[in-house]
Amino acid sequence: MASQTPTDPAATSAAEPQTLPDRTNPADAPQGESKNAAKKAAKLAKLAADKADKANKPKQPKQPKEGKQEPKKAAKKKDSGKELIGIDVEKESDFPEWYHQVLTKGDMLDYYDVSGCFILKPASYFVWEEIQNWFNVKIKSIGVKNASFPLFVSEDVLQREKDHIEGFAAEVAWVTHAGNSPLEKKIAIRPTSETVMYPYYSKWIRSHRNLPLRLNQWNSVVRWEFKNPTPFLRTREFLWQEGHTAHLGEDAARAEVLQILDWYSDIYEHLLAVPVVKGQKTDKERFAGGLYTTTVEGYIPATGRGIQGGTSHGLGQNFSKMFDIKVEDPSNKPGEEKKPPLYVWQNSWGLSTRTLGVMVMIHSDNKGLVLPPRVAETQVVIVPVGLTAKTTAEEREKLNAEIEGLAAVLQAAGVRVENDQRDGYSPGFKFADWELKGVPLRLEFGPGESAGHFVSTARRDIPGKEGKGSIPIPELGTAVPALLETIHRDMYNRANEQFTTHRKVIEKFEEIVPALNDKNLVVVPFCLAEDCEDQIKKETAKKQEEISQSGPEDVKAPSMGAKSLCIPFDQGIGGAEITAETKCINPKCTRSAQKWCMFGRSY
Amino acid sequence: MASQTPTDPAATSAAEPQTLPDRTNPADAPQGESKNAAKKAAKLAKLAADKADKANKPKQPKQPKEGKQEPKKAAKKKDSGKELIGIDVEKESDFPEWYHQVLTKGDMLDYYDVSGCFILKPASYFVWEEIQNWFNVKIKSIGVKNASFPLFVSEDVLQREKDHIEGFAAEVAWVTHAGNSPLEKKIAIRPTSETVMYPYYSKWIRSHRNLPLRLNQWNSVVRWEFKNPTPFLRTREFLWQEGHTAHLGEDAARAEVLQILDWYSDIYEHLLAVPVVKGQKTDKERFAGGLYTTTVEGYIPATGRGIQGGTSHGLGQNFSKMFDIKVEDPSNKPGEEKKPPLYVWQNSWGLSTRTLGVMVMIHSDNKGLVLPPRVAETQVVIVPVGLTAKTTAEEREKLNAEIEGLAAVLQAAGVRVENDQRDGYSPGFKFADWELKGVPLRLEFGPGESAGHFVSTARRDIPGKEGKGSIPIPELGTAVPALLETIHRDMYNRANEQFTTHRKVIEKFEEIVPALNDKNLVVVPFCLAEDCEDQIKKETAKKQEEISQSGPEDVKAPSMGAKSLCIPFDQGIGGAEITAETKCINPKCTRSAQKWCMFGRSY
Instruction: Dump pLDDT digits (tens) for A328-380.
Output: 999 999 999 999 999 999 999 999 999 999 999 999 999 999 999 999 999 99
Q: A21 falls in which pLDDT band (50, 70, 90)?
A: very low
pLDDT score for A3: 40
- Chain CA centroid to CA B514, Å: 28
* Contact across the interface for B120 and A147, Cβ inside 8 Å: yes
Cα(B387)–Cα(B408) distance, integer angstroms: 22
Contact A10/B at CB under 8 A: yes
Q: State the average pLDDT over residues A421-437.
A: 94
- Terminal C-alpha separation, chain A: 37
CB pairs under 8 A between A and B: 261
pLDDT band at B558 (very low <50, low <70, confident <90, very high): low
Segment A241-248 shows an average pLDDT of: 98
Interface probe for B, chosen from A1, A54, A174, A198 (most Cβ of B below 10 Å), is A174
Q: What is the mean pLDDT of residues B532-552?
A: 72
> Comparing C-alpha atoms, which of B270, B247, B500 is closest to residue B373?
B270
Q: Note whether B302 and B315 are within 8 A (CB).
A: no
Q: What is the mean predicted confidence (pLDDT) over A257-268? A: 98
Tens-place pLDDT, residues B263-308:
999 999 999 999 999 999 999 999 988 999 999 999 999 999 999 9
- Residue range B419-423: mean pLDDT, rounded: 93
Give the whole-number percent of chain A exceeding pLDDT 90: 79
CB contact under 8 A, A150 and B214: no
Checking if the pLDDT of A556 tops 80, the result is no
What residues of chain A lie within 8 A of the CB of B148, using their CB? 119-120, 125, 128, 239
Q: Do B179 and A202 touch (CB under 8 A)?
A: no
Band (pLDDT 50/70/90 cuts) for residue B163 is confident
CB of A411 within 8 Å of any CB in chain B?
no
pLDDT at A163: 83
**Nearest residue to B426 via CA among B107, B36, B105, B87:** B36
B52 chain-A contacts, CB cut-off 8 A = 206
> Residue A212: is the preceding peptide bond cis (ω within 30°)?
yes
Please state the rounded mean pLDDT for residues B341-349: 98
The torsion region of residue A341 among left (phi > 0), alpha (psi -120 to 50) and beta comes to beta
Q: Which residues on B lie below 8 Å from A209 (Cβ)?
A: 3, 8, 10-11, 13
pLDDT at B63: 39
pLDDT at B21: 34
- What angle do helix axes A122-141 and A250-266 make, rounded to 10 degrees? 150
What pLDDT does residue A554 have?
A: 42
Between B67 and A589, where is the model more confident?
A589
Q: List Cβ neighbours of B37 (8 Å cut-off, separation of 6 or more).
A: B30, B31, B426, B427, B428
Q: Provide mean pLDDT across the span B485-509.
A: 98
Contact A122 B60 (CB under 8 A): no
Cβ atoms of A104 and A56 closer than 8 Å: no
Contacts of A237 in chain B (CB under 8 A): 150-152
Out of A14, A118, A207, the one facing B207 most closely (by C-beta) is A14
Name the pLDDT band for A71 (thresholds 50, 70, 90). low
Nearest CB neighbour to A14, from listed B10, B206, B211: B206
Q: Where is average pLDDT lowest: A213-222, A381-390, A575-584, B40-49?
A: B40-49
Decide if B28 touches A, using CB distance below 8 A: no
Is A120 within 8 Å of B328 when comparing Cβ atoms?
Answer: no
Is A37 in CB contact (< 8 Å) with chain B? Answer: no
Query: Comparing C-alpha atoms, which of A299, A113, A213 is closest to residue B153?
Result: A113
What is the average per-residue pLDDT within B25-51?
43
Do residues A244 and A197 touch, judged by C-beta distance below 8 A?
yes
The whole-angstrom separation of Cα A315 and Cα A161 is 12
Whether residues A209 and B61 touch (CB distance < 8 A) is answered with no
pLDDT, tens digit, 9 for 90 and up, residues B56-101? 333 334 433 443 455 544 444 444 444 445 999 999 999 999 999 9
Average pLDDT, integer, range A90-111: 97
State the pLDDT at residue B164. 83
Mean per-residue pLDDT, B164-189 = 93
- At residue A490, the 3 state secondary structure works out as helix
CB contact under 8 A, A174 and B178: yes
- The confidence score (pLDDT) of residue A7 equals 43
- Percent of chain B clearing pLDDT 70 (strictly above): 83
Cβ-defined contact of A206 to B120 (cutoff 8 Å): no
CA dihedral sign, ordered A560, A564, A566, A567: positive
**Which candidate, A27, A118, A184, A69, places its Cα nearest to that of A360?**
A118
When the pLDDT of each residue in chain B is averaged and rounded to a whole number, the result is 87
The reply to whether residue B6 touches residue A187, judged by beta carbons under 8 angstroms, is no
pLDDT tens per residue across span A480-532: 999 999 999 999 999 999 999 999 999 999 999 999 999 999 999 999 999 99
Please state the rounded mean pLDDT for residues A62-69: 42
Are residues A38 and A428 in contact, defined by beta-carbon separation less than 8 angstroms? yes
Q: Which residue of B has its CA nearest to A168?
A: B179
Lowest mean pLDDT among A44-48, B332-336, B367-371, B559-563: A44-48
Average pLDDT over residues B377-398: 94
- Does the pLDDT of residue B241 top 50, yes or no? yes
Identify all chain B residues contacting A122, using CB atoms and an 8 Å cutoff.
145-147, 215
- CB < 8 Å from A in window 144-183 of B: 145-154, 156-157, 169-180, 183
Is B322 at the interface with chain A, CB within 8 A?
no
CB A521 within 8 A of CB A502: yes
Question: Is the pLDDT at B523 greater than 80, yes or no?
Answer: yes
Over range B474-481, report the average pLDDT.
98
DSSP assigned state of B89: S
Nearest-CB residue to B204 (from A4, A174, A211): A4
pLDDT of B320-331, one tens digit each? Answer: 999 999 999 999
Helix A393-412, helix A476-501: angle, nearest 10: 70
* DSSP β-ladder status, B521-526 and B503-505: parallel
Q: Looking at CA atoms only, how far is residue A196 from chain B in angstroms?
A: 9
